[in-house]
């Protein structure tokens, strides 16, 4: 007989702790470090914020089969869920504070799944200094669906916005681009890579760029994180800033594993530029701040600039010869615009 699928209970499985037993056992420990969570005993959380600060609030939901693979390890699903939200806090130049969590889980998911999921949360709470403050536990006839509302703090007036980039500003990106999108294709069996593990790890465990927050507060005129794809997200920044951007594909930073894969099949460059799931930060700075930014030693790379003219909201990608690159799509979208 085949072993049971991860998380599925069988007649031989241990009995479940039930809705409230699961909250007591797996979720209350995650709220213990945040007094405003009231030990998850009340109808809601209550907390104040330090004087001179604003609360930054962001929500992102994840659906099995859409954002992660149903068989991904539960601790990795937990990490991805928390980290994509932490990435939005970093993009707004905020420091993590607390989060609420909605778990919508199939009725037959076992306590072992939730136990491993909570272990992943505990590890990342410690790593990123964020605490659970409440949420909701519901059943669903559909796939695992998770939603986090993350809250962070920023000194009053210092949140980084998507608007604010000026003509001539330089476009920078953190880290490397394309690893996660390539990792997903490896997991889906449509790509073979000599060194697949770093790519798969980037897909399952994004690395929110919270260490960049002080640098963003000092230099960035506009910024956002890359979830849908580098080109699509830079276009979002351009849209709100009312500007057009030109980037150099050959300047986009690639990891050694991604470079090897693209070297073998140059068509994968479009996957790198538009595949998404990067959770890096794209931001703009005044050209006069370039040397001071680079002197910080931050892991950032200049990839282009904002044009003095050009159609607002557009991004032109140049290839190594300086010719515009034709891309089928700028990035991921849940709902395609077009005729009904
Ligand atoms: N269902 C919704 N209700 C209210 N606001 C929404 C909803 N969906 C999106 N938004 C808002 O629209 C804006 C763009 O959302 P989007 O989800 O694209 O940004 P993001 O979270 O940075 O990107 P991603 O979800 O790809 O990580 C945000 O200000 C977001 O709060
Ligand atoms: C199994 C699987 N198939 C496809 C993708 C690609 N993908 C899905 S949603 C999204 C944008 C960010 O999400 P959102 O905009 O909802 O925050 C991307 C790049 C994936 N991650 N997993
Ligand atoms: Mg979102
Ligand atoms: Mg974002
Ligand atoms: Mg999106």
- For residue 91, the CA-to-ligand 4 centroid distance in Å is 7
Residue 114 inside a domain? The answer is yes
Residues 145 and 228 grouped into a single domain: no
Residue 333 inside a domain? The answer is no
Q: Assess whether pLDDT exceeds 50 at residue 40.
A: yes
The protein residue with its alpha carbon nearest to ligand 1, atom 26, reads 227
Percent of the chain with pLDDT over 90: 95
For the question of whether the overall pTM of this predicted structure is more than 0.90, the answer is yes
Pocket of ligand 2 (CB under 6 A): 60, 65-69, 184, 227-228, 276-277, 332
Residues 54 and 189 grouped into a single domain: no
- For residue 312, the CA-to-ligand 2 centroid distance in Å is 26
Q: Is the CB of 227 under 6 A from ligand 1?
A: yes
If you average pLDDT over residues 232-247, what whole number do you get?
98
Q: What is the ipTM of this complex?
A: 0.98
Residues 260 and 305 grouped into a single domain: yes
Q: Assess whether pLDDT exceeds 80 at residue 9.
A: no
> Is residue 253 helix, strand or coil?
coil
Domain count, the chain: 2
Q: Is the CB of 278 under 6 A from ligand 1?
A: no
Residue 121 inside a domain? The answer is yes
Residues 147 and 274 grouped into a single domain: no
Residue 35 inside a domain? The answer is yes
Residues 310 and 181 grouped into a single domain: yes
Residues 179 and 300 grouped into a single domain: yes
**What CA–CA distance (Å, rounded) separates 152 from 53?**
10
Q: Assess whether pLDDT exceeds 50 at residue 11.
A: no
Ligand nearest the Cα of residue 67 is: 2
Residues 122 and 194 grouped into a single domain: no
Residue 3 inside a domain? The answer is no
Residues 297 and 174 grouped into a single domain: yes
Listed residues 102, 125, 155: the one ending a domain? 155
The answer to whether the beta carbons of residues 83 and 148 sit under 8 Å apart is no
For residues 102 and 11, which has the higher predicted lDDT (pLDDT)? 102
Give residue-wise pLDDT tens across range 144-195.
999 999 999 999 999 999 999 999 999 999 999 999 999 999 999 999 999 9
**pLDDT value at position 340?**
77
Residues 131 and 185 grouped into a single domain: no
Residues 306 and 214 grouped into a single domain: yes
**pLDDT value at position 213?**
98
Max Cα–Cα distance, the chain, nearest Å: 68
Identify the CATH number of the domain in which residue 114 sits.
Answer: 3.30.1330.10
Phi, psi angle pair for 182, to nearest 5°: -70, -40
Which of 277, 224, 275, 260 is closest to 90 using CA atoms? 224
Residue 90 inside a domain? The answer is yes
Residue 268 inside a domain? The answer is yes
Listed residues 125, 155, 185: the one ending a domain? 155
Residues 198 and 141 grouped into a single domain: no
Secondary structure, 3-state, 93-112: CCEEEEEEEEEEECCCECHH
**pLDDT value at position 293?**
99
Residue 26 inside a domain? The answer is yes
The answer to whether the beta carbons of residues 183 and 201 sit under 8 Å apart is yes
Instruction: Write out the residue range of the structural domain in which residue 264 sits.
Output: 170-318
Q: Assess whether pLDDT exceeds 70 at residue 102.
A: yes
Give residue-wise pLDDT tens across range 241-284.
999 999 999 999 999 999 999 999 999 999 999 999 999 999 99
Identify the CATH number of the domain in which residue 240 sits.
Answer: 3.90.650.10
What are the binding residues for Mg(2+)?
43, 58-60, 88, 136, 225, 228
pLDDT classification of 12: cutoffs 50, 70, 90: low
Q: Which residues surround ligand 3, an ion (CB under 5 A)?
A: 60
Listed residues 155, 185, 204: the one ending a domain? 155
- For residue 66, the CA-to-ligand 5 centroid distance in Å is 11
Residues 30 and 121 grouped into a single domain: yes
- For residue 66, the CA-to-ligand 2 centroid distance in Å is 6
């Amino acid at each position: 007989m085949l072993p049971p699928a991860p998380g599925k209970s069988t007649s031989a499985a241990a009995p479940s702790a039930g809705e409230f037993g699961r909250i007591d056992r797996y979720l209350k420990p995650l709220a213990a470090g945040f007094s405003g969570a009231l030990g998850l005993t009340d109808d809601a959380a209550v907390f104040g914020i330090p004087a001179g600060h604003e609360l930054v609030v962001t929500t992102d939901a994840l659906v099995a089969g859409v954002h992660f693979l149903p068989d991904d390890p539960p601790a990795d699903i937990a990490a991805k869920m928390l980290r994509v939200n932490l990435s939005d806090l970093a993009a707004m130049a905020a420091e993590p504070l607390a989060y609420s969590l909605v778990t919508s889980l199939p009725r037959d998911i076992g306590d072992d799944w939730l136990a491993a999921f909570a272990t992943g949360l505990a590890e990342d709470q410690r790593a990123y200094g964020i605490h659970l403050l409440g949420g909701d536990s519901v059943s669903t006839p559909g796939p695992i669906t998770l939603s986090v509302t993350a809250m962070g703090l920023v000194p009053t007036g210092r949140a980084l916005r998507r608007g604010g980039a000026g003509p001539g500003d330089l476009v920078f990106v953190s880290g490397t681009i394309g690893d996660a999108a390539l990792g997903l294709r490896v997991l889906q069996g449509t790509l073979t890579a000599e060194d697949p593990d770093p790519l798969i790890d980037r897909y399952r465990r994004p690395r929110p760029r919270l260490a960049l927050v002080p640098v963003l507060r000092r230099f960035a005129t506009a910024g956002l994180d890359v979830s849908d794809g580098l080109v699509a997200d830079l276009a979002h920044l351009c849209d709100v800033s009312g500007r057009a951007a030109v980037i150099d594909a050959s300047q986009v930073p690639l990891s050694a594993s991604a470079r090897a894969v693209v070297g073998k099949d140059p068509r994968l460059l479009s996957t790198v530029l538009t595949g998404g799931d990067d959770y890096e930060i794209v931001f703009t700075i005044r050209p006069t701040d370039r040397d001071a930014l680079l002197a910080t030693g931050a892991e950032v790379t200049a990839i282009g600039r904002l044009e003095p003219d050009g159609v607002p909201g557009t991004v032109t990608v140049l290839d190594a010869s300086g010719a515009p690159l034709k891309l089928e799509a700028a990035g991921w979208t849940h709902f395609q615009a077009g005729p009904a």
